[in-house]
Structure 1
Amino acid sequence: PKLKNVSATTNGVLLSKRAKGLKAAGLDRVNISLDTLNPDTYAGICRCNSNVHQQVLDGVHAAVDAGLTPIKLNMVMLEGVNSGELNDMISFVKKFDGNVILQIIEPMDFSNNGLLMEMDIITKELESRATSVIERKMHRRKKYMVEGAEIELVKPIDNSVFCANCNRLRVTSDGKLKPCLLRNDNLVDVSHATDSEFEALFSKAMKNREPFYKGQPQDVST
């Protein structure tokens, strides 16, 4: 199958050593999970040693140098943890001259722990500060230009527009094609597939795709 774009989501810890090799292997770009610029906060969120944080930052720089761009930094904002870091993240993203985008992700953890920030609060702040707002075809989600930085909000929960305009097919770490971000009951295992078998399995995964949140009919981008 011909794919327009092949990307990977990573914690970035080993990326500084592997970025060039991944680019040479055909990877187009990466999403890197980075919720904070503070090493101690990072250690608390990820439950790791604080020196791991620098490895992730090194990975961001290495990915830019390797051309795995535009890089998207995935940030989940947590009340009282990293909720005051938006300005710092904007300043960090600006340093890369458009090669890095800040992507604020809606939490998918529904536990009532008091940490999850309302996306409406973040949206209103970005709208008040943005010099321009652009709607992407992908998921019909908005891009906010704030002080020279590009910021996207990813809000899949209870969002039929997001589902209707999604064209992603994901691969899990254990070799399964994942037709829907929010489902695990329709995965297609390709971990041991030959090249000839893979094409048929890929087609099967594509046929398994359907909107998780159906809602009302929406404009579907191609």
Structure 2
Amino acid sequence: MTLIDIPTPGFPGAGADFARRGGQLRVSFTARCQLGCWFCHNEGEVPPRITHHNRAVQPRPRVMTPGDYLTAINTMTAAGIRRVFFTGGEPLLSPAARPVLEGIPAHRPDEYTTTLITNGLTLTRDLPWLAATTLDRIKVSLHYFSDASIATIAEGKTGDIDKIKAGIEAAIDAIPTVELNLLLQELNAHEVMDIIGYARHLGIGLQIIELVGTDHNAGLGGGKVPSGDIAAHLRSIATDEQVVTSGTGQGRRVFTVPGARGPMTIEVIDASLGRHHTGQCGTCPARSRCVEGFWALRLDSAGTLAPCLLRTDLRLDVTPHTGDPAAFLSAVSAHLDAFTEGTLQ
């Protein structure tokens, strides 16, 4: 096992501290999703599970246009953000998804990368146009390996595991990189080895994530399962293991294991390896239950940008600035500087 601290490139000017920590921009197209997974925190928005149970409780209205999104993304990548993730809810349900993804300009991976995170239910439908975009990666959230487990984890919502698998397998031939992510929990513990085997069979990367507890999922569904036993299994078949403790969020174990296409990577996010915080976290009342630390900027469909999952009171309204890239970058930079210095009010 090798303990490493991987440096991440910085850049001068706005948001330098964020990029130096390996920060990412998470762009949420919609709060809606076909599923209602019990654990979903929806990145600070009302989770679909709650809306499915009570239609009177709705997420904030969508105000961001495709042009607004593209202004934000192009401005922040030009300023040095290296990783852009497109999320939801389920992002492919949003009418903004296609025009935004089709509008991302050609770019080199050393400039920045773009990743779509999806539940995979509509991949077979959407792949023809997705394949024509500059998207670098699709990451499919595969927290189940049977229709029965989908219904259990999504609280009765139906899903088609065969359709999801068909989308994953078709995407391998259409998108430069396809990966899976798996949220480890009691309700899918019996299928984790199946999902690991599936990833190895396809020869695609897998990230295994420990459960993030929030106000939305406390006391619900299946509880948290430590990743130690999974790490021990991977260690028994791995040709290499590295422990990465730099960058943002929690540390992770990176295993190189044999796959159908040769050596492949399985990552295990492990809270026991520590986390990374910044100035605002020093006096944060939510720190005792924070498991991510300084992780990502989240731009949502309601037009707010947040540097933290648990503190929705720290959101910045960017809608007054989406028509002016310079004003947008100035506002975001000032907000981020205050967050990293611990002076954000």
Percent identical residues = 29
Distance 2:334 2:252 in 1: 24
With the length of structure 2 as denominator, give the TM-score of the two structures: 0.49
1:58-106 CA distance string (max 9 Å, x none): 221232222151x331211222x32132321122112333xx2111111
2:157 to 48, 58, 83: 48
1:165-191 CA distance string (max 9 Å, x none): x5x444335454343345433334456
Distance 2:270 2:310 in 1: 12
Structure 1 residue 30: Cα displacement: 2.1
SS in structure 2 at match of 1:160: coil
Distance 1:24 1:191 in 2: 30
What amino acid does structure 1 have at the position aligned with 2:157?
Answer: C
Structure 1: which 5+ runs fail to align?
A: 212-222
What amino acid does structure 1 have at the position aligned with 2:257?
Answer: V
Query: Where do residues 14-163 of structure 1 align in structure 2 (5 Å cutoff)?
Result: 14-46=122-154, 47-50=156-159, 52-69=160-177, 71-79=178-186, 81-97=187-203, 100-109=204-213, 111-112=218-219, 115-136=223-244, 138-139=247-248, 141-148=252-259, 149-155=264-270, 159-160=275-276, 163=293
Structure 1 residue 34: Cα displacement: 0.8
What amino acid does structure 2 have at the position aligned with 1:19?
Answer: L
Q: Which residue of 2 aligns with 1:201?
A: 328
Task: State the superposition RMSD in angstroms.
Answer: 3.2
Distance 2:229 2:199 in 1: 21
1:144-171 CA distance string (max 9 Å, x none): 123434211224696227746x5x4443
SS in structure 1 at match of 2:171: helix
More relative contact order, 1 or 2 (CA 8 Å, 6+ apart): 2
Q: Does structure 2 conserve the Cα–Cα contact (< 8 Å) formed by 1:179 and 1:206?
A: no
Q: Does structure 2 conserve the Cα–Cα contact (< 8 Å) formed by 1:190 and 1:198?
A: no
SS in structure 2 at match of 1:124: helix
Distance 1:74 1:203 in 2: 34
Distance 1:192 1:20 in 2: 35
Q: Does structure 1 conserve the Cα–Cα contact (< 8 Å) formed by 2:299 and 2:305?
A: yes
Q: Does structure 1 conserve the Cα–Cα contact (< 8 Å) formed by 2:138 and 2:175?
A: no
Distance 1:128 1:54, change over 3 A: same
1:14-54 CA distance string (max 9 Å, x none): 2222234234343221222111222211222123224x322
Query: Where do residues 167-186 of structure 1 align in structure 2 (5 Å cutoff)?
Result: 168-186=296-314
Q: Does structure 2 conserve the Cα–Cα contact (< 8 Å) formed by 1:43 and 1:53?
A: no
Q: Which residue of 2 aligns with 1:216?
A: none
Distance 1:192 1:96 in 2: 46
Distance 1:43 1:61 in 2: 22
Q: Does structure 1 conserve the Cα–Cα contact (< 8 Å) formed by 2:306 and 2:314?
A: yes
Structure 2: which 5+ runs fail to align?
A: 1-74, 83-111, 278-291, 341-345
What amino acid does structure 2 have at the position aligned with 1:95?
Answer: H
Distance 1:180 1:38, change over 3 A: same
Q: Does structure 2 conserve the Cα–Cα contact (< 8 Å) formed by 1:179 and 1:205?
A: no
Distance 1:29 1:83, change over 3 A: same
SS in structure 1 at match of 2:232: helix
Distance 1:200 1:74, change over 3 A: farther
What amino acid does structure 1 have at the position aligned with 2:328?
Answer: L
With the length of structure 1 as denominator, give the TM-score of the two structures: 0.72
